[in-house]
Structure 1
Amino acid sequence: MEAFWFVQVLKCYAPAQMPSLRLLKMPLFGSTFSPKKTPPRKSASLSNLHNLDRSTREVELGLDYGTPTMNLAGQSLKFENGQWIAETGVSGGVDRRETQRLRRRNQQLEEENNLLRLKVDILLDMLSETTAESHLMEKELDELKSVSRRRK
């Protein structure tokens, strides 16, 4: 509809000696959107590292990292069997017994925290139940009052 209007305006105002302007269409109105085609993707390069056996990879590429170690607050730790273990017997003044005591205390506190959360949930359930019952009683009381007023 808009393209037709634009062409009509051009026909009225375009001079007779410029017939090409009469049929001029703006790209916004007449042409359709046709994006350029994207070139095909290059095939992914496949590495031959997966063909090498483990020992060859370790020798050629240096993939033998050993156990992970870190130094944290002057304490050297290594990762073995899923746990961080201190490399020295007494590290930074914290011995193994102290660590075990702290772990037990941490476990106790976590259990106590879980118990307290359970108690809070139970208390909230009790509170909501009591609130619902009180609302029902208030509603019944209001209904009884309205019935008694009607009788008078």
Structure 2
Amino acid sequence: MPIFSKKFDIKNIPQRGKRDNSCAQIQEKLDDFHTIQLNLTNKRKLKFVDGTWIVTQQHGDADDITAMRKRLQKLEEENNLNQIKVDVLLDMLTENLAELKILRNK
């Protein structure tokens, strides 16, 4: 009885069947895959071109920009008014503390 039996012999690999080429090859332009577009809203679009995101403007953007500028101006005016109010309150507090210090020294 041999030590190494046939179980260690190299087995033959069966041949592959014929390949079915009945599917049509897809012909797509690679340029379609170089630019990515995202529709964030119906007015805003982003494009990825050459490694950077570019915002594409549409007809509704001008209205949004003017509305945002008006809102910004209103908020800046409100901020200025609040700053003046804080300054007046600090002046009043300083004046009251000075009067209180004078009254305590008497």
Structure 2 length as normaliser, TM-score? Answer: 0.46
Instruction: Give the structure with higher Rg (CA).
Output: 1
Q: Which has the higher helix share?
A: 1
Q: TM-score, normalised by structure 1?
A: 0.35
Structure number with greater CO (CA < 8 Å, separation at least 6) is 2
